[in-house]
Amino acid sequence: MFGIIRPCRHRLSAGLHADWLAHLCGLCLALRDEHGHLARMVTNYDGLIISALVEAQSPRAEGRRDAGPCPLRAMKGTSVAKGGGAQLAAAVSLVLASAKITDHVEDRDGAFARRSVSLAAKRVATRWADQGSRTGNRIGFDTAVLTEAVDRQGEIERAVRLGDSAVLATEPAELATSAAFAYTATLAGRPENAAPLAEAGRLFGRAAHLLDAVEDLAEDEAAGAWNPLTATGTGLAEARRLCDDAVLGVELALREVRFDQPKLVHALLVHELRQAVRRSFGHGLIGHGHGPQQPPPGWIGPGPRPQQHPHQPQQPQQYPQGGHHQPPPPPPGAPGGGGPPQEPPKRGKHSGGGPVDGQGGACWTPKFRVPPRPRGFFFGCAVATYMCCSCQFCCRDPFPGPWSGKPHDACINGDCSGCDCCDCCSCCDCS
């Protein structure tokens, strides 16, 4: 699953989590029913927001159907989203996933540099684009607006120069999400909502593109890949300001939309979008070398500070800026050491050195490797399918990424003690 909106049960009430899962499963089943099991690979957390927007503007009775048992639901049946909202989410997910694969092929990223892999990936991307177009036409949505926006990305990347605003590089993402958000008003029979939803979608696309750039910054610099922050010389503090402005703009635009059931949409596009910004700017980016080496506004950090060593003089914490000399930090875990605070190991979590397998037994494969060993596209797809069928994404903690091999934290039975949860703001009631 990919996307920037990754809610957990600690931040969503039982009712909202059930609604969120209904849209996630509805998107997955819509892809399966119309395009086969392979298409289910493009199911993503951000795509279900399209389905949620349609249902939020229309009566609930029109948008649910019963679904059978599924391993990811502990073999339980449930009620899932259906109709135009799920189909629009499927069409958008297919087209954008096709564009993402095409971008990897053109950039020759990782396994895509191999000719055999790139040729197969191109066929998959073409198939998904055609499937998305057919689904979009079935509900009256022309996916050409998405493909045209994505096609402009390469041209924009070549035109961006050092000193330009990073917002210039986010224009294609803004146009694509704006069109998808606006069409939800048409499907719901609320044309008056199209304009504010288009604005909300535009700013959501901007935030998503920037957050993706922030999370990929270290990897892109190591590989010499194009990144909008590096290409424009945008520091992390400025990137954080742009993201915060976009999040505020989404919230203000949603206030102009007439919803019948606003709670889930508000939770995802306001609270969870804020949390996505906190998460992206709290993952070890301080001191990265972009802009002032100090925490961006609102940085929540990885946790509480460790206690002061009894033999170390008490000194105020400083960040390396303004000419202040700071000695190299001791190794992680050393007395008085710098770096991220080290917390005691928790159940099933990985901390310090190599990752530790969660409590699951010998049936959980693949095992962790240190350092992580990335897999090719097709082998990763096979691993992802096995991990999905064996419920490792929701029951193994941590679990290795099927393509990257890197450890990822899971939320087991609602126990989110190790996740990046924070208190919901008190501006409204999302329960």
pLDDT tens, position by position, 376-398: 888 888 888 888 777 677 667 67
The residue ranking higher by pLDDT, 244 or 283, is: 244
> How high is the pLDDT of residue 199?
97
Burial class (CB within 10 angstroms; exposed 0-12, middle 13-18, buried 19+) of 354:
exposed
The answer, as to whether pTM is greater than 0.85, is no
Q: Give yes or no for residue 298 having a pLDDT over 80.
A: no
Give the pLDDT of residue 385. Answer: 82
More confident call, 347 vs 168: 168
Amino acid at site 120: A
**pLDDT for the residue numbered 100:** 85
pLDDT score, position 288: 43
Identify the CA nearest to 89 among candidates 142, 46, 50, 115.
Answer: 50
**Mean pLDDT of the 218-247 span:** 92
Domains in the chain, start-ordered, CATH in brackets? 14-280 (1.10.600.10), 358-431 (no CATH)
* 11-20, 68-77, 90-99, 153-162: range with lowest mean pLDDT: 68-77
**The pLDDT of residue 64:** 78
pLDDT of 428 higher than 70: no
pLDDT tens digits, residue range 250-263? 999 999 999 999 99
**How many whole angstroms separate alpha carbon 390 and alpha carbon 277?**
31
Confidence grade of residue 229 (pLDDT, cut at 50, 70, 90) = very high
3-state secondary structure of 142: coil
pLDDT digits (tens, 9 = 90+) for 313-372: 444 444 444 444 444 555 544 444 444 444 444 444 444 444 555 444 456 778 887 778
pLDDT of residue 234: 94
For the record, the structure tokens of 347 come out as 């159940």
Is residue 172 scored above 80 in pLDDT?
yes
Give yes or no for a contact between 430 and 263, defined as CB atoms under 8 angstroms apart.
yes
Range 1-22 average pLDDT: 83
User: What is the average pLDDT value for the chain, to the nearest integer?
Assistant: 78
| Highest mean pLDDT out of 59-63, 346-350, 402-406 | 402-406
pLDDT in tens, 85-124: 999 999 999 999 998 888 888 777 777 878 888 899 899 9
Query: CA Rg, the chain, in Å?
Result: 22
Mean pLDDT to the nearest integer, 129-154: 91
User: What pLDDT was estimated at residue 276?
Assistant: 93
What pLDDT shows up at residue 61?
Answer: 54
Lowest-pLDDT choice from 176-190, 211-225, 235-249, 288-302: 288-302
The alpha carbon torsion through 202, 18, 263, 193 (nearest 10 deg) reads: 40
- More confident of the two residues 74 and 325: 74
Query: How would residue 196 be classed by pLDDT, with cut points 50, 70 and 90?
Result: very high
Query: Residue 418's pLDDT band (boundaries 50, 70, 90)?
Result: very low
Higher pLDDT, 306 or 156: 156
Nearest one of 278, 269, 245, 271 to 429, comparing CA atoms: 271
Give the per-residue pLDDT at 235: 94
Binning pLDDT at 50, 70 and 90, where does residue 297 land?
very low
Confidence check: pLDDT of 150 > 60: yes
Q: What percent of the chain has pLDDT over 70?
A: 73
pLDDT digits (tens, 9 = 90+) for 176-185: 999 999 999 9
Closest to 145 measured CA to CA, from 175, 169, 182, 102: 175
What CA–CA distance (Å, rounded) separates 52 from 188? 11
